[in-house]
Amino acid sequence: MKRLYVVSVLLVVIGVSLSFTTYNELPNDKKKFVVVLDAGHGGHDSGNRGNGYSEKDIALNVVLRIGEALEKDDRFKVVYTRKTDKFIELHERGKIANDAKADLFVSVHCNSHRSQALGTETFVLGLHANDENFNVAKNENSVILLEDNYQANYDGFDPNSPESIIGLTLMQEEYLEQSLTLASFVQNRFKKRLARKSRGVKQAGFVVLHQTYMPSVLIELGFLTNDQEGRYLNSEKGQQEMAASIITSVVDYKESLDAIYNFPDTKDFLSSDAAQDSGEKELYEGVTFKVQIAAGSSDIELKPYNFKGLDELSKEHSDAIYKYYFGQTSDYKEIQELKNIAVGKGYTSSFVVAFKNEKMIPLAEALKVNTSSN
């Protein structure tokens, strides 16, 4: 039997519960979705200086724009790792997020390359799929060499060693799946709304992501070393557009979680015998719901014995990631029941996703479609 190797992701300590679960258990009047915004580099760490631009300044400008918008929305609480040109050690950035009990960690950077490479990419923590991903992580991780006593802070971690990167990762599929969801939202917005070249959602061993205990992504806005893209990212227009796209992605992500847990008449559906026996359906025209049960870099044959006996399986391959689904239906009540079955089989981090015209859409958007019952 083949094993399902779930890609290593955003390092967490065993026993730490999902951040969005904690958030949804709060009383309604106390709920705040905590987003930690991390502007890469700062102070004596300028980041890359492609074409003479300053990564640390561009990242900070974009982060401050994101934070300013989210702070105007009462649903969010924003925490910054830095709001000024200040050097913050990588392990401190993770500590800030953990102390804030954040629901989401978003780190913003700019890329560089010896060629005229261009395009956006969003990373989640994982094993490198190729040397290129390793080099991106190595460049961002090398900042620890500027820190005092870095060997003690990172337990001998060597940013130049692939073996050290592998040592960072811890299998924790709950955070991988949620992080991939946000990363997909971010990349789709960049590509579809801003017409930026998308280099996709990727996995690599970033120390700053390793330090966090919640869904986390690292966004590379583009290449400062590319003449055209560098000018765009250094401009007020470019920074505003990139920030606006990330803002929308964060809101979509939060609303998708809200829809999973708080959509009327579904939260307690499976615990209600009357609801299960009523025979009523909750149909959404043109929408197909599926239960995402796993994600990873391995291509696994869709056989029940590979998925703890589950059938009605499907998968999607995008950006070197395979996503595995159980069931498909336009009936939201039915998909909730299927999700419960998946959880009972051991897929405790499974969640509902929605498709329209064969493309994934935010669950909150899908649930706005008029329903029909019979």
Residue-wise pLDDT tens digits, 157-169? 444 444 344 334 4
The pTM is what? 0.61
User: Given this model, what pLDDT does residue 262 score?
Assistant: 52
Measured CA to CA, the distance from residue 295 to residue 354 in angstroms comes to: 16
What's the pLDDT tens digit per position in 274-333?
Answer: 334 345 678 888 999 999 888 877 788 998 888 888 889 999 887 667 889 999 999 988
Average pLDDT, the chain: 75
Higher per-residue pLDDT: 148 or 2: 148
Extended strands (E) in the chain: 33-39, 76-80, 104-111, 120-125, 198-204, 216-223, 283-284, 287-296, 313-318, 321-329, 351-356, 359-361, 371-372
Task: Give the residue, 168 or 209, on which the prediction is more confident.
Answer: 209
Instruction: Give per-residue pLDDT as tens, 177-201.
Output: 788 888 888 998 999 899 999 998 8
pLDDT tens column, 218-252 = 999 999 999 999 999 999 999 999 999 999 999 98
Does residue 205 surpass a pLDDT of 60? no
Q: Which residues contact 60 (CB under 8 A, 6 or more apart)?
A: 39, 42, 82, 83, 84, 85
- 45 vs 20, higher pLDDT: 45
Phi, psi of 295 (to 5 degrees): -150, 145
pLDDT in the model for residue 269: 33
Residue 206's pLDDT is what? Answer: 52
Percent of the chain predicted with pLDDT > 70: 68
What span, in angstroms and rounded, lies between the C-alpha atoms of 73 and 63?
Answer: 16
